Amino acid sequence: MTEIPEITIPSSLLPADGRFGSGPGRVQTTFVDDLAATGTSYMGTSHRRPAVRDVVAEIQSGLVEMYDLPDGYEIVLGVGGATAFWDAATFGLIARRSAHFVCGEFSRKFADAAAKTPHLDDPIVVAAEYGGAPEPEEVPGVDTASFIHNETSTGVLAPFARLGSALVAIDGTSAAGAIAYDVEAADAYYFSPQKALGSEGGLWIVMLSPLAVDRIESIAASDRWIPPSLSLKTALDNARLHQTYNTPALTTLYLLARQIRFVNTMGGIEWADGTTRRSSAHLYRWAESSTFAQPFVVNAALRSPTVATIDFVSGTPADRVSSVLRSNGIVDTEPYRKLGRNQLRIATFPNIDLEDVEALTASIDYVVQRL
């Protein structure tokens, strides 16, 4: 391990808040204070009673409002995060065979989960080089097409489309609450709340079209064995009562409801989309004009508005830069572990103000000049 150089960034350059992680993402501290102030009225009370069910109902109606979802769409929640949703989908959403459009570690994990599922046929995988994204194309013989909206491991905003009759499942984990999309092109748009939605982990949420609800019900009526904790039908039945099947973390629900209300008050998904695009545009412009940095994603149309991946030239070690930043209170700028690039990965979620992103690039410049 090389020593971290002792560089003190002047406080006038530092961001007001040093959290730039892509997951868990920045949580609004006022929401944490408000949660603490609920005292005995919420934390430590039953998730089957109004104090908690009202929060779940607020999450559901808040998402309908945020995305202006058409009639018949339903919001379902379950315990275990997006990773558990992949497993639930292999049991309850994919009928026989899925196609997976893969462009990074997260989209690959769902493809791998489907490939190992004994009751499914081998999935079709359409993969792109990391840093790019596959073009949506109709894949014959599949009943489910799986896309990722924003590949958090590479910082790619990937295209998706409804093609043929396949049900469209989209991993929106680092996009939900931040990036607008054509809701009618998705049947199952799912996410965890600890990324752009600034809550805690441990929960998955899916926004289901009527087509997806039909699929879940018809698979549940078949003779396929489904583990109860991964049953989408059980989750759906509970969601209609503003509950989860088993006990959720109440902090996660509270912070999620507050963040959704915040985004809706600010102007909804269009506002969130605008603010993340402004912050990420600053980063990409800064990298393009820098002598030591450049955006990892070459095709500007595929650059993520919420997770910016910035490559450094070989003479500028990104790991040392992020270590110095960390010692100055600027945390979680390291790249996705398995990508293995000389890179910083910086979230520009709606909770991260443009001023903080500007202060971050000024701080990076200060550090690199002194390495």
Ligand X SMILES: *Cc1c(COP(=O)(O)O)cnc(C)c1O
Nearest residue to 195 via CA among 217, 177, 170: 177
In angstroms, the CA 342 to CA 344 distance is 7
- CB of residue 148 to ligand X, shortest distance in Å: 6
Look at residue 179 and give its three-state secondary structure. Answer: coil
Task: Report the site for ligand X in 279-308 (rule: CB under 6 A).
Answer: none
Q: Which residues pair with 101 in a beta bridge?
A: 126
Task: Examine residue 152 and tell whether it contacts ligand X (CB under 6 A).
Answer: yes
Nearer to ligand X, 205 or 250 (CB): 205
- CB of residue 201 to ligand X, shortest distance in Å: 5
Task: Examine residue 82 and tell whether it contacts ligand X (CB under 6 A).
Answer: yes
Task: Examine residue 274 and tell whether it contacts ligand X (CB under 6 A).
Answer: no
| Residue sitting closest to ligand X (CB) | 81
* Dihedral pair phi/psi, residue 170, rounded to 5°: -130, 130
Query: How many residues in total does the chain contain?
Result: 371
Task: Examine residue 268 and tell whether it contacts ligand X (CB under 6 A).
Answer: no
- CB of residue 259 to ligand X, shortest distance in Å: 15
Residue among 201, 274, 317, 329 that touches ligand X (CB under 6 A):
201
- CB of residue 125 to ligand X, shortest distance in Å: 16
Task: Examine residue 174 and tell whether it contacts ligand X (CB under 6 A).
Answer: yes
| Angstrom distances, CA of residue 180 to CA of 229, 274, 308 | 31, 9, 17
Residue among 60, 144, 154, 192 that touches ligand X (CB under 6 A):
192
What single DSSP character describes residue 40?
Answer: T
- Helix H or strand E segment including 271: helix 268-289
Q: Which region among 47-55, 61-69, 80-88, 262-270 touches ligand X (by CB under 6 A)? A: 80-88
Token pair recorded at residue 142: 């599949």
Q: Which residues pair with 126 in a beta bridge?
A: 101
Asked whether the beta carbons of 304 and 132 are under 8 A apart, the reply is no
- CB of residue 81 to ligand X, shortest distance in Å: 3
For residues 26-63, one letter each, b for 16 or more C-beta atoms within 10 angstroms of the residue's C-beta and e for the rest, the string is bbbeebeeebeeeeeebeeeebeeeebbebbbbbbebb
- CB of residue 371 to ligand X, shortest distance in Å: 30
Task: Examine residue 111 and tell whether it contacts ligand X (CB under 6 A).
Answer: no
Task: Examine residue 81 and tell whether it contacts ligand X (CB under 6 A).
Answer: yes
Task: Provide the binding-site residues for ligand X, judged by CB under 6 A.
Answer: 23, 81-83, 106, 148, 152, 171, 173-174, 192, 195, 201
